[in-house]
Structure 1
Amino acid sequence: MKIEAIKIYGFGKWVNQEFTLPEMMTVFYGENEAGKSTLMAFINGMLFGFASKKSKFINTYEPKQQAVYGGEIQFLHHNKKYRLIRRYRTNSEIELINLQTNENYPNPQPILDDILGPITSETFQQIYAINADELAEVRSLTPNELEQRLLKIGAVGAIGWLQVADKFEKEAQVLFAANSKNGKRPLNGLLNEYRRTVDNQLEIQRQLPTYFASLESLQSQHVAIDNLKAEIKKRQATLVELNELARLEPLYQQMRKLERKQAQQVQQINEETKVRFEQLQFQKTNLIEEITHLEQEMHTSDISSVYGQEFEQQVTKLQPRLGMLMEMAANYRAMEQQVNQLSGQYQTALNKFNELNSASQLQRVTPPTKQNKSVKWTIGAIVAGIVILLFLPFTIIIKFIIAIIVMAIIWIIGQQTSSIEITNDEKIPMANIQVAQSQLLQVQQQLQASQQQLQKLVQAINREQQGINNLKLENVQNSVIASDFPRQLQQINQLLNEYMAEQQANALGKADQVYQEQYYKQRQQQLANVRREMQTVLNSVGLIDESEFHLQLVKQNVDAQQNQELRAMQKQFTELQIKRLASLTTPVTDLIASTNMQLTQDKVQMEALESQLKTSQIQHLKVVSNGTLNEVEQQVANLQHDFLSGLEDFMVKQLTSQWINEALKQSSQQRMPQIILLATKYFQMLTGGHFVAIKMESNMISLVTSTEENFTLAELSKGTSEQLYVAFRIAFAQVLADLIEFPIIIDDGFVNFDAQRLERMHGLMLDLSTKQQVIYFTSNPTVLTDFTELQIVTL
């Protein structure tokens, strides 16, 4: 975990305050009462919860101004950024937001618990927080107490437990001293009085021979009952152990199976070989893709004409004549426009002539013979038009135009012939009619000449179209209609342009093809080299091909996962449990059943013995006739009870003290080799290389200087003792970093260090901050020169 930013709504003296921690090493610098300890308490409260109770011994840091109690912390954990928000001291509200996904967890506490892991507020203070009060306490310890504390520093909460153990030890010594002769301690006095009372009891018993037999019977029964109780207690303990073994037995069998698999594992492929082979595979894949791409390009860039030799011959014929054909098409369009224009003029002249002629005919009576002649001429014109439409070899439009012109000419001639017979008394002047007729004939002559030229041009175009159709050119439509000729020429022109463009592209592509072929051969050679090296790697690990290599990697990954599972399983067993399960020849369930059966039998036997004891006690009372003996026996019983109660209290306190020390010793020794290794490195840095080694033999710590002198803890100065303690504390935090990583927080912890020691401590903090975040609260101005501006936050 790395804390990146702090925002305080209201907490103690801090109100609406924000801090940014951009560096792994952050120094909060300020004078006394600047709010350093308040800020440290805020971090603790945000992570583990604010104080829920008020008292004169608990500082709840109520805001000095009116503000919401709480704030925010932004932190980085396992490459994910989170924002943690807490509001209010009581009925606290908590929010946890994943800043990468903007997910606001609806139930944030389990997520936060998973992030914090096993770390609580108390363990956080004991492992990751160092303050001046703690080091001041170290200065007051005796060498033996310091040694005990260092030896048990690997056990979380060891300081508090050591105090409890010391308390029990002292209380036990107050109760009883085994070698004391004066009997002043409570148990000693009870024991002496018990001995005197028993002697008196024996004296009385000697006077009652019958009493002895009864007493012996009672004693033997008591012994039998005590033995049976002990046996029952033993069986109950065995049953508890067997039930625990029954729970662990399936896991144990699975663990043994994994151990057998682990024994058969063979590590064929190391990490270096794996990385190199994967690099070669990557190169091979890229080369194959590149070669395939090159082959496709070389195939598609094969320089060959899609038109063929026949097309080239056709192009050779068409290309020189294309300009002439284009000109012929232009002449056709111009001639067609001229014919259309003359046809319009002719129609206008014909209409005018018809109007004048019709008007003159209405003014006179036409003889029947003249009317008959006009009809004949009209019929003749119609027949001529039909013949032209049927037999002339022109297009329908041209034939239609010619038919109209011929019909008009025949009809006009007929009218002119008839008009000779018109009388001189006509009102419309004949001069006007003659002028109109002259104009009509002039236009007719021009139209006939243009039509003849157009017909010749159409015949020439049709011959060219037939030649084009015979060529059967792709994308050029066949046609025998002259009006389609421009479109055909346009298609031919486009086809020729495409052909010329392909010829130019083929000329340019030949140079590229030579380069591609050389590049292709180089890549093939590189691929062959990569394949040979891959085969060399495969041979070095005794494998044949890539599939076997990947199968072996998968197997090794499975083996690694199984080994991890095995280590996790092994941590769930004690060494004694493993030995016990290994020694079993009978299923645990059968042992539980037989033990339950034996326990039931023992309880039944206990009930019978207790019933028999009551009967014997009644008989014993009958034997006893001396009241004094009863009183002495009661005194003995009372003294025995008091002594046993006191002895039990003594044993409980003594054994508890021993158990605490032994438990702390076992917990600490699991981590102690790693702690000593790191503590040696840090202690050497803090002492400027004066001390170079820390040794631990028979639970005794000794220190070795650079001149190979040995020092005990009793021979160290108070300042050096503090340095040694700090080295052990920081080493312990580093050892736990593999399990859970928290910032190391120091609150003015080195006020007793001189300038040289403080400078070394600052250097050690900078070294630690390369791996683990360090937050340092201090009022010492030397930090202004020992750290950079980016690392210092001035309060």
Structure 2
Amino acid sequence: MKIVEMHIYGFGQLDDVKINNINDFQVFFGENEAGKSTIMAFIHGIFFGFPTKQQSELRYEPKHNAKYGGKLRVNHEELGFAVIERVRGKSAGDVLVTLDDGTVGNEELLKQLLMKFDKSLFQAIFSFNLQGLQNIHQMKGEEIGKFLFSAGTLGTERLSKTEAMLQKEVDSRFKPSGKKPIINDKLLALHELNGELKKASAKNQEYQTLIEKKGALQQEIMEIHGLLVVIDEKTTKLNEWKKIQSFVKEERWTKKEIDDLGEIHFPARGIERAEKFNQLIHPYNAQISSIADRIKNLKNELESIKPDPSFLTNESAILTILEQMPLYEQLKQEKLQCEMKLKEFEEKLSTISEKLHLPLNEEEIFSINTNIYMKNQVEMVSKKSQKLLEVKQELEDRYQEEKDTLEELEKDLRGAQSQIFSKQERERLEEQVKDGNDKNRLEIELNAVKDKIEFYQHAKEQDENTLASLFNQRKIQVLAFALVLFGFALYGVLTRQWVLLFLSVIGCALIGIFMNKSLRRPKENDVNQKLHAFREKEKQLIQKLESAKFRNISALEEQLAQDSRRKEKLQIIKVKLDQQHKQYDKVISKFEEWESLAAQNKEKLLTISKELKIPKYIANSYLLEAFQLIEQYKSIGRDRRKLIERLEQIIFEQSKMVNELKFYATQFLPEKSLDIQKSAFLLRNKSKEEHEKQIKSQEKRTKLAELEADMQQIIKEQQHVQVEFNKLLKEANVENEQQYYELGMKAEKRGKLFERLEDIEKQLQYSMLNEAERESFLQIHNCDEIISKCNDEVLSLQTRLKKLQEEQASIKYEIQILEEGGVYSDLLHQFKQKKFELEEEAKEWSVYWLAYDLLSKTVEKYKKIHLPRMLAKAEEYLLFLTDGNYQKIHLQGTGTGFLIERVDHTLFEANELSQATTEQVYVSIRLALATTLYENYRLPIIIDDSFVNFDARRTQKVMELLKRLDQNQILFFTCHKHLLQHFHKENVISLEKKKALNL
């Protein structure tokens, strides 16, 4: 995801600020308080919400603008372009996300854009500043290695801080060989208390004996209490039985009577229901006879008033036609209006046809496609044609402007080129300056040359004398040695010693060669060559001194300096000319783009004109007007067709109404050949008469139907009552009414017995004795005697209980006396208290130890699975940043931290590196974390002045590395002007202090 534009409504000191065309690598440069931190906070706020008032972060609420917030336009890899707008609202602000395809959402859609990142994780991975590097400055020893490891896992020092905190908490509570930690201290105190407690226990054996005796007495007392409870419960039940004995015996008698009567099946309230049915049957018979007489009379009256059935059958159609008579007059008026409007439409169509002047008939015009899409295409093509004309005019103006500028620069270039020296002339001046061609210097140099000629002349004379003397000496030596060798040779011949002869001959040959070389005199040695060179130089210096063309060296140097300045100016003009050529070429390319777009638009215009059947000469200038006239023609044509259809429909409806009215007048009226109005009047009267007959007949029929319905209802009710009475007899399983009443008397007696039994059971349900206990108590005949025995046993047990309680009180007193000494009880209390405190501290220690162990295992898993790939990329970055001086990053064998390997394979811990190298390692790890483990999350990387401590070389290398990170957009904020030399001008946005931007 990349940020393309931002618009700040109001945020801190920034008010209505717009920044457009943000590049993939964008630099924000400005002095302190120019707004860099505000823009970074704004980006974080739009992405993740404004800080709440309870948080410690700055909210950047504007002081002079009521509108708080702004929006960002971003380009997402999957969802395309989107606008994220956040303004003042509840808690973190109200956010609205709008995609280019029209999708609108809020926080959920924003989380999808940000790939579920929260603010803390985003700042840890993709946003870092000078604070991370300053943390390295403040650390010592192994803390630096742990910090770098934490930066490689979470992007911040959170991991190292958490690990250090857990280690500190664990060590502060317990160490195996420690004394000061809390648990160690409590274990020592508990051990001492345990020794003292054992000593006190040895002195209190009597106390233990009393405790045991007290327990035995307590057990016996509890047993006696249990026996008392059992006896009391038995006595209570016996007294309860004395109360309910009569009810239990009556219950048994009632159940026996019910069993003797046996099972009786008789309807509930059978006698009452039978008498009620007999009271209903007799009145039903009288009503049936009366209704039958009334039905007969009504049938006779209906026969006397009978309407015309054929008229009534067609009554609805006749009434429909009569009701349409006012419509007939309206249709006449509407027909006249339609004829007038039709004439008006034809005149309009004729006018439009003259304006269009197309060789098309009406059907062909109607076949032309004028839907919404075509209309949109026509409008777009027309607007684009107009826009292309405006762009062309603008390009022509810009072309002329760039051309004039180019010609002016070329003129300046020619002028500048004419003012500078030629190559030969400049070389001549430089040679003159180099040689130092002034009189004093030449005289000094000439005297020096004369001195050297005199020196070498004297040296030559001495060499000649020396050589002559040496030549004579060597000549005598060689001749003497040659005579000796000749003597040896002669002796060898005489004595026939051929070896001696051979060696003597070789020696003579060598002496001859040596003599040949030694006796030759050198033609010209080095002294002669140097002497000749100095004499030539003396001649040249004399010639220069004799020539009167001496020059001022300072004037020559000034001419050369002026020529250099002109060359620099010429170079600047060339650069400007090169840039102007590029601008000129851009305008030419814009012209080419315009021609391509114009050709495409023209082709599209011709295609649309063919579809609209409009000639080319009209389409070029009046396509939209022609399309609108065609639309207007089709609209009026459709209205005209509808009007013609309506006129035909009116004529048809009028004819239909006249024919139908004549048909019914001929069929039902005695008069013939009547006009429409007279026929309608007579048919309406005929309808009223027949309708009155029908109403009267209908009333009689309704009355008759009601009576017949009443007759059927009464018969059904009579039959229903009789059926219900028969059901009672069948339910009682009897054949006649007499047997039914006898069975009813037995059922009534059985019901009263059940009622009494129910009353008895109600009395017994509150008794504490269950049914089984009541059955067992029926066998008891001397209940009072048993109760008396129970009372005697209770008195005996209470006496024994009293003695035991007195003995228990005595033992408690003795124990109290022993405990008042306080030694054993106090020590026991202290021991238990210390033991409880130790257990609580151990629980708390185990929590921190488990957390530390879990963190360590998580780190080890991370080191084995994810860290190698990240370290490979970090090594690549570090190798580049350090020019190959450091090439490997190794994990520590145990714990957290790194070892850095130099090019000579020497390993360094992080704290052994220089400060700048440590910072380079940190930068490499942070960038590798974002580009490997989070490579699928291409969110912007925000960097705030993190390299100000680097020298020029390190700064250049880190900038080159950032430019190579093409997967993520990089937003770099700085207040250091010297860093701008590493970026192109179009990649830098300058922020002016206390001024609104509108870029």
TM-score by length of 1: 0.45
Which structure has the greater CA radius of gyration? 2
